[in-house]
C-alpha cells in the first residue's frame, strides 16, 4: 500500500522502533524563543547535559520584543528577564541567537523559512504551537512543550505517538480577492476547532498547487487552529524556487541530491488517508471571524449568526457567550461592525507578500478617523525588503504606524495591546478572549480585508472601496 507524505517523512526519521513503544524520531531543526525555553535550559544545567546538536538549533527573540524604541531598555520586568535569560542561556550553551536589533531577528516561524533552514522532508519542532507553519515546505513540523524542548536539546530526538492523516483537497481556483487566509478560515469553520484533532492535515488539489510559499505558510500556520498535530503541503517547483539560493539551502551537488529526494515527497496515488475533506475554491469569498475561536467565522457578506440557529447545544452556548464577549447582536451585518484598531502582522500574515497585498489596497488612501493601524513585519528581513520597495511609505502616508519586527499585537505580551472593549481587525491567528489584550475583541481577517477595513472604519473588503486614490510621493 502506498504511503502519505506525512508517513514518508515520519518513516525517514525513525531512530528506533520497538513494538508497543512510541517511535523515537530524529529532529532535523529545533527553533527556540524566549518564552518556552528557560526551564529547558535550566533542566540541562541541573543534569550537566550539553546541547547535543548545536548545528541543528537556532534561537530568536520575538514574543516579548517591543516594536518601538527597540534601543531603549525593556520596561516590563518579566519580558526583560525572559529575553536576558535566553541571551544568557544561548551564550552558555553555544546556541546561535538572533536577538532584538539583529538583522535576522523576527518571529521564529518567519525566520526559519527565510534563512532556508526549513526544507522539504525535514522534521521541525519549536516550543510554540504555530510551528505547523513550516509544513508548507513538506516538512513535518509541530509545536512541543517545555519538557520536550529539553528532550530535543539533550538528545535531538523525541518519542512520539503515531498520528492519523487527513487529506484536505481544494479544487478549482480561488476567486479574485480571495486569499489563503480566507481559505483556511473557511476550512476551520467547516471542520471545527477540534476537527483536526490527532491528525496531520495534508492540503492538496489544484488551488493549493497555485499558491505561493507565503500563502502556503498562512494555511499551514493555522492548522493548529483546527486542532491538528500538523499541516503539510507536498513540495514542488514553487518550493524549490523559494529555497534556491537562500543562506542555508543546499548548494551544488547537495542541491541536486536534495531536489531529487524532495521530488519523492508526495502522497502515493494509492495512499489511504484516515479522513478526507473536499473544498471547492470557486465558492469561497473573503472570510472573517465574528466569535472568540477561529472556527466562528463567516463570509464577509453574511450577518452575525443567531445562536438559536445552532442545533448543537454546546455550539449554541459557545455562540451566545461569544456574541456577548464580542458585543455583537445576532443578525447584524458583518460589514457594519466598526473597529478601533487594525493589525497587520504575525507569523500568519506578516511576510513580504502580505505587506505588499495590504499596501496595494491602502496606497493613496487614508486610514479612517479614529482608527489606529499597526503594520508589524514578521522579521527584520521582511521589514528591510518592504522598505526597499517603499511599502513603509505607503503605510505611513495612509496614516498607519510602521513598526519593528516581532509578534506584537498577535498576543500582546509586549506593549502592543488592545484596551478593554476595543475591537480589532487582525491578520493574526487567534481571536480568543483577551488574546490581544484584556477585554479586547478580535476579528481575524486577511491582509487585504485588514487594509480595506482600516480605510472604511468597519469590516470590509477592497471591493467596498471607492476608486479615488491620492498618489503617494516616493
Site residues (CB under 6 A) for ligand SF4, limited to 116-155: 128, 130
Q: Which is nearer to other proteins, 128 or 392 (CB)?
A: 128
Rg over CA atoms, the chain: 22
404 binds ligand SF4 (CB under 6 A): no
Please select the residue that binds ligand SF4; options are 410, 445, 449, 459, rule is CB under 6 A: 410
Q: Alpha-carbon distance 291 to 130, whole Å? A: 21
Residue 183: all three cell numbers together: 481559505
Q: Which is nearer to ligand SF4, 5 or 220 (CB)?
A: 220
Q: Which is nearer to other proteins, 241 or 276 (CB)?
A: 241
Residue 398: all three cell numbers together: 495612509
Q: Which is nearer to ligand SF4, 179 or 349 (CB)?
A: 349
Q: Which is nearer to ligand SF4, 130 or 441 (CB)?
A: 130
How is 408-460 classified by DSSP, letter by letter?
A: GGGTTSSS--PPTT-EEEESSS---TTTTSTT-EEEE--HHHHHHHHHHSBS-
448 binds ligand SF4 (CB under 6 A): no
CA end-to-end span of the chain: 59
425 binds ligand SF4 (CB under 6 A): no
Q: Is residue 448 within 8 Å of residue 359, measured between CB atoms? A: no
Site residues (CB under 6 A) for ligand SF4, limited to 154-213: none
Q: Which is nearer to other proteins, 119 or 346 (CB)?
A: 119
Q: Alpha-carbon distance 56 to 249, whole Å? A: 14
| 270 burial type by CB count under 10 A (0-12 exposed, 13-18 middle, 19+ buried) | exposed
243 binds ligand SF4 (CB under 6 A): no
The nearest distance, CB 112 to ligand SF4, in angstroms, is 11
DSSP SS3 for 287: strand
Q: Which is nearer to ligand SF4, 63 or 441 (CB)?
A: 63
The nearest distance, CB 409 to other proteins, in angstroms, is 20
Contact partner at residue 347 from other proteins, ligand SF4, none, CB < 5 to 8 Å by partner kind: ligand SF4
The nearest distance, CB 33 to other proteins, in angstroms, is 13
E strand intervals along 270-426: 275-280, 287-289, 297-299, 341-344, 372-375, 401-402, 423-426
CA 90 to chain centre: 25
Size of site (CB under 6 A) for ligand SF4: 13
Q: Which is nearer to other proteins, 263 or 366 (CB)?
A: 263
Q: Which residues bind other proteins (CB under 8 A)?
A: 15-16, 24, 26, 28-29, 38-39, 42-43, 46-47, 49, 54-58, 78, 81-82, 85, 96, 116-119, 122, 146-147, 150-151, 154-157, 159, 247-250, 254-255, 257-258, 261
The nearest distance, CB 102 to other proteins, in angstroms, is 12
The nearest distance, CB 101 to other proteins, in angstroms, is 17
407 binds ligand SF4 (CB under 6 A): yes
405 binds ligand SF4 (CB under 6 A): no
CA 173 to chain centre: 23
Q: Is residue 379 within 8 Å of residue 387, measured between CB atoms? A: no
436 binds ligand SF4 (CB under 6 A): no
Residue 103: half-sphere exposure toward Cβ, Cα within 13 Å: 3
The nearest distance, CB 151 to other proteins, in angstroms, is 5
Sign of the alpha-carbon dihedral angle for 97, 103, 107, 113? negative
According to DSSP, residue 228 is labeled: B
Q: Under the rule (CB under 6 A), what is the footprint of ligand SF4? A: 62-63, 107, 109, 128, 130, 346-347, 407, 410-411, 428-429
Amino acid at each position: 500500500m502506498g504511503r502519505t507524505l506525512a508517513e514518508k517523512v515520519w518513516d525517514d526519521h525513525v531512530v528506533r522502533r520497538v513494538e508497543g513503544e512510541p517511535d523515537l524520531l530524529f529532529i532535523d531543526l529545533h527553533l527556540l524563543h524566549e518564552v518556552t525555553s528557560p526551564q529547558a535550559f535550566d533542566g540541562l544545567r541541573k543534569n550537566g547535559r550539553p546541547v547535543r546538536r548545536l548545528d541543528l538549533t537556532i534561537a530568536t527573540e520575538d514574543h516579548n520584543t517591543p516594536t518601538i524604541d527597540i534601543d531603549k531598555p525593556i520596561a516590563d520586568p518579566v519580558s526583560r528577564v525572559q529575553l536576558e535569560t535566553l541571551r544568557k542561556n544561548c551564550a552558555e550553551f553555544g546556541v546561535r541567537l538572533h536577538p532584538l536589533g539583529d538583522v535576522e531577528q523576527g518571529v521564529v516561524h518567519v525566520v526559519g523559512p527565510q534563512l532556508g533552514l526549513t526544507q522539504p522532508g525535514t522534521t521541525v519542532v519549536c516550543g510554540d504551537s504555530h510551528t505547523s507553519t513550516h509544513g508548507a515546505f513538506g516538512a513535518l513540523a509541530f509545536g512541543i512543550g517545555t519538557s520536550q524542548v529539553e528532550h530535543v536539546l539533550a538528545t535531538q530526538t523525541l518519542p512520539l505517538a503515531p498520528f492519523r492523516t487527513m487529506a484536505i483537497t481544494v479544487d478549482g481556483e480561488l476567486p479574485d480577492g480571495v486569499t489563503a487566509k480566507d481559505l483556511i478560515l473557511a476550512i476551520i469553520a467547516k471542520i471545527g476547532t477540534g476537527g483536526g484533532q490527532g491528525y496531520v492535515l495534508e492540503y492538496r488539489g489544484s488551488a493549493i498547487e497555485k499558491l505561493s510559499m507565503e500563502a502556503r505558510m498562512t494555511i499551514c500556520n493555522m492548522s493548529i487552529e483546527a486542532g491538528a498535530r500538523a499541516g503539510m503541503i507536498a513540495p514542488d517547483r514553487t518550493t524549490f524556487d523559494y529555497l534556491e539560493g537562500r543562506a542555508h539551502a543546499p548548494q551544488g551537488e547537495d542541491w541536486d541530491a536534495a531536489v531529487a529526494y524532495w521530488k519523492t515527497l508526495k502522497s502515493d496515488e494509492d495512499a489511504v488517508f484516515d479522513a478526507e475533506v473536499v473544498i471547492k475554491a470557486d465558492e469561497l469569498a473573503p472570510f472573517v471571524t465574528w466569535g472568540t475561536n477561529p472556527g466562528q467565522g463567516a463570509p464577509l457578506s453574511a450577518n452575525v449568526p443567531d445562536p438559536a440557529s445552532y442545533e448543537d447545544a454546546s455550539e449554541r452556548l459557545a455562540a451566545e457567550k461569544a456574541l456577548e464577549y464580542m458585543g455583537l447582536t445576532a443578525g447584524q451585518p458583518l460589514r457594519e461592525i466598526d473597529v478601533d484598531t487594525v493589525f497587520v502582522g504575525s507569523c500568519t500574515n506578516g511576510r513580504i507578500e502580505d505587506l505588499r497585498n495590504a499596501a496595494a489596497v491602502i496606497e493613496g488612501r487614508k486610514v479612517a478617523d479614529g482608527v489606529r493601524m499597526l503594520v508589524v513585519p514578521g522579521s527584520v528581513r521582511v521589514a528591510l525588503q518592504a522598505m526597499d520597495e517603499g511599502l513603509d511609505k505607503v503605510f505611513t502616508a495612509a496614516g498607519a504606524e510602521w513598526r519593528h519586527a516581532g509578534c506584537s499585537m498577535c498576543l500582546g505580551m509586549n506593549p502592543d495591546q488592545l484596551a478593554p472593549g476595543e475591537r480589532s481587525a487582525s491578520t493574526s491567528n487567534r481571536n480568543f478572549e483577551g488574546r490581544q489584550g484584556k477585554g479586547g475583541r478580535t476579528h481575524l481577517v486577511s491582509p487585504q480585508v485588514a487594509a480595506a477595513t482600516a480605510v472604511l472604519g468597519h469590516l470590509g473588503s477592497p471591493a467596498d472601496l471607492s476608486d479615488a486614490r491620492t498618489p503617494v510621493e516616493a
